[in-house]
Chains A and B, each alone.
Chain A
Amino acid sequence: MYTVRKKYRPYISPFDPCKPMVIKTYETPPQLYLGFQPYNLPQFQPHEALRLGTLWPALYAPYTNPYEDCDRGDD
């Protein structure tokens, strides 16, 4: 499934000083994939677009704090 947040499992050393983060994440928002924006894509309603920051659902990629559901070693 396509997602704008990619995950990977970094190497964890037995000698790491802090409790390891088992899963690390990074963002890959839609502009990386869209290329030249095609004509006639669906649009948000104007009032909604002004609130969201884009007219185009194809470019809308909300962000949340990844640490809030981050994995701290008991995975």
Chain B
Amino acid sequence: MWIYEKKLQYPVRVNKCDPNMAKFLIEQYGGADGELAAALRYMNQRYTVPDKVIGILNDIGTEEFAHLEMIATMVYKLTKDATAEQMKEAGLGGHYANHDKALFYHNAAGSPWTATYIQAKGDPIADLYEDIAAEEKARATYQWLINMTDDVDLIDSLSFLREREIVHSQRFREAVEILKADREQKKIF
């Protein structure tokens, strides 16, 4: 169960009318390394990892949903006032034909989100290593998105999200260390 706080984790301001950027941002919404994939991956894996690291997956998975909302807000703001013609010019003609201005879980190239983006191997090390890789890939996506815009307000929000990926990666790396450690075992020399 969750308690929903009706505000964004970090403010989202968009300064520049640039519907084309929405097309790229959607990568982080419904792409393989996007926030939806991250949230669902961790929320699902958390059942079958050792007790000591369930909380890390639970908390980070929850935060990914908060990030998903931020990306959604960016995409919405960038497209809500675009005409059909502007959507077309922004490379969103295909999206518009199918969805009007509605958001949809697909990547920047229009491929719909699929569960094959995520994995649950049941082996805690394999799963945590996947999670670390997912965080690094999301961090990289944020870098490429930052490189594609000069909207300082958008960059500000994207930079926040990128920094969170760094922290999440660090925590998953620590989770691996927790599982590697044999602190509870009594060693007799």
Where the two chains meet, the residues of A that have a C-beta atom closer than 8 Å to any C-beta of B are 27, 29-31, 34-37, 50-54, 56, 59-67
Contacts and interface: CB of A to CB of B under 8 A. Distances in A.
B182 to A, nearest CB: 14
- The number of chain B residues touching the other chain, given as a range, is 20 to 34
Nearest to B172: A31
B139 A29 contact: yes
- Interface majority SS (helix, strand, loop, mixed), chain B: helix
Interface string B29-63: 00000000000000000000000000000000000
A7 B169 CA distance: 23
Contact of A63 (B159, B170, B177): B159
Contacts of B133: none
A54 B58 CA distance: 19
Nearest to A66: B147
A56 B171 CA distance: 13
Most buried by B among A34, A37, A53, A64: A53
Interface string B159-174: 1111110110110011
Contacts of B170: 30-31, 34, 37, 59
25 contacts: A27-B140, A29-B139, A29-B169, A30-B166, A31-B166, A31-B167, A31-B173, A34-B170, A35-B173, A36-B174, A37-B170, A50-B10, A53-B159, A53-B162, A53-B164, A53-B167, A54-B166, A54-B167, A56-B167, A59-B163, A59-B167, A59-B170, A63-B142, A63-B143, A63-B146
Nearest to B178: A36
